Amino acid sequence: MSGKNTEKNIETEGLSKLGGVTSYRYRNPGPDILEAFANLYPQRDYLITLTHPEFTSLCPLTGQPDFATVTVRYVPDKLCVESKSFKLYMAAYRDHGAFMESLTNKIADDLIAVLSPRRLSVSGVFNVRGGTAISVQVDHIDPSLPGTRRDSLASLWRIYSDSR
């Protein structure tokens, strides 16, 4: 038994990074690196959390490294991000120069472009540099959702936050 499932599967259809040879790109992060698979439970609101404690980028002026823990939380609609492609996407920031505020917003924008989630937040907690700690939080709620649905998502967010 090889352990590799060769049957066609709706969850893995179209994915190219998972199970293949890993090729890292350490600059030019973009949404083209991210892959998504079908959410098999679109009728249900549920929260997915991805934590990347080894995020690295460069200061655009000094070239000094910035380190952070980046946490992405989202409620999927039709698509979920594939985790290996997310890891490769995050690695693409390694030699990328940008301010922390821009980085966090770009990560949110790229995930929104690929996934169109019902709700998404990206939190960047950057290590202290120069005696200052910086945290950046970006939040997004699908503007096309009706008010009651938006309230329901806000409640889901509170339940998660209260349980931590």
Catalytic residues: 59, 66
SS3 48: strand
CA distances (Å), 61 to each of 39, 66, 118, 133, 145, in order?
41, 12, 36, 18, 40
Computed over its alpha carbons, how large is the radius of gyration of the chain?
17
SS3 128: strand
109 close to 97: Cβ distance less than 8 angstroms: no
Beta-strand relationship, 65-75 and 132-141: unpaired
What is the spatial distance between Cα 78 and Cα 57, in angstroms, rounded to a whole number? 31
